[in-house]
């Protein structure tokens, strides 16, 4: 478990309870966004031909309130399906 992850989980659950929701989300939303990189770096960079962007891609998982559950950053050339698999591979508590 990463440092601070228990605190983040507790704050996330508390925010949901304040909004009169269950502490754990029952539905999530997954999307990705390709972003240009300003400078070359040692981190992997790719080209998203569909969006004509050279850079990285953020795969973002949020709950119904828009609270971020998970973010995975890949090269822009990584397909959305492969990025989704990476996101769900890091989530230990998801029911399929």
pTM beyond 0.85: no
Q: For the chain, which residues make up each domain, given as ranges?
A: 26-90
- Mean pLDDT, the chain, as a whole number? 86
- What is the pLDDT, as a whole number, of residue 6? 86
The tokens for 86 are: 């990476």
Q: Tens digits of per-residue pLDDT, 69-85? A: 889 999 999 999 999 99
Condensed to tens digits (0 to 9), the pLDDT of residues 29-43 reads 999 999 988 766 666
Is residue 96 scored above 70 in pLDDT? no
Q: Which residue pairs from 12-19 have beta carbons closer than 8 angstroms and sit at least 24 positions apart in sequence? A: 12/67, 12/69, 15/65, 15/67, 16/63, 16/65, 16/67, 19/65
> In whole angstroms, what is the distance from residue 68 CA to residue 85 CA?
17
């Amino acid at each position: 478990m990463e440092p601070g992850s228990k605190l983040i989980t507790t704050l996330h659950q508390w925010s949901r309870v304040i909004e009169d929701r269950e502490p754990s989300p029952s539905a999530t939303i997954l999307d990705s966004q390709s972003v240009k990189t300003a400078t070359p770096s040692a981190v992997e960079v790719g080209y998203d031909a569909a969006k004509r962007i050279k850079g990285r891609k953020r795969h973002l998982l949020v709950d119904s309130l828009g609270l971020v559950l998970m973010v995975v950053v890949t090269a822009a050339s990584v397909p959305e399906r492969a990025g989704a698999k990476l996101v769900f591979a890091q989530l230990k508590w998801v029911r399929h």
